[in-house]
Amino acid sequence: SAVISQKPSRDICQRGTSLTIQCQVDSQVTMMFWYRQQPGQSLTLIATANQGSEATYESGFVIDKFPISRPNLTFSTLTVSNMSPEDSSIYLCSVEARGGGPNEQYFGPGTRLTVT
């Protein structure tokens, strides 16, 4: 299994500012994923981050808006840039445990972001 922590757990930010969310895993993992969950909605994949390579973004998400870093096998950050109220969501980090089977995907506790 993998234990994931995220910082901050929640934040209230002003429009036009940026917030960086940190994701720390207690073991080395190959793949890390960032999801967004808008209020009352399901989870949408933002990007996949592998260590040592550029993140792969899903349709509708761009690097300028959601830059991601993956400096090592246990850590990643997601920045939400130039925020607007539409960015108010829960942002979840997820990992696939290294060497794990197809069901070995774990989620962090999420970061609740409110943009005013």
Return the range that interacts with other proteins (CB under 8 A); candidates 15-23, 63-71, 74-82, 101-109. 101-109
Distance CA 114, CA 84 (A): 9
Counting contacts by CB under 8 A, is residue 13 touching other proteins? Answer: no
- In 3D space, the residue among 112, 101, 104, 85 whose CA is nearest the CA of residue 33 turns out to be 104
C-beta of 82 vs 104, nearer to other proteins = 104
103 binds other proteins (CB under 8 A): yes
Q: For 65-114, give the DSSP string.
A: TS-EEEEETTEEEEEE-S--GGG-EEEEEEEEETT--TT-EEE---EEEE
Stretch binding other proteins (CB under 8 A), from 14-22, 61-69, 70-78, 87-95: 87-95
Map residues 26-65 to x or -, x wherever contact with other proteins holds by CB under 8 A. Answer: -----x-x---x---xxxxx--x-----------------
Q: CA-CA distance, 79 to 81, in Å (whole number)? A: 6
Nearer CB in complex with other proteins: 8/16: 8
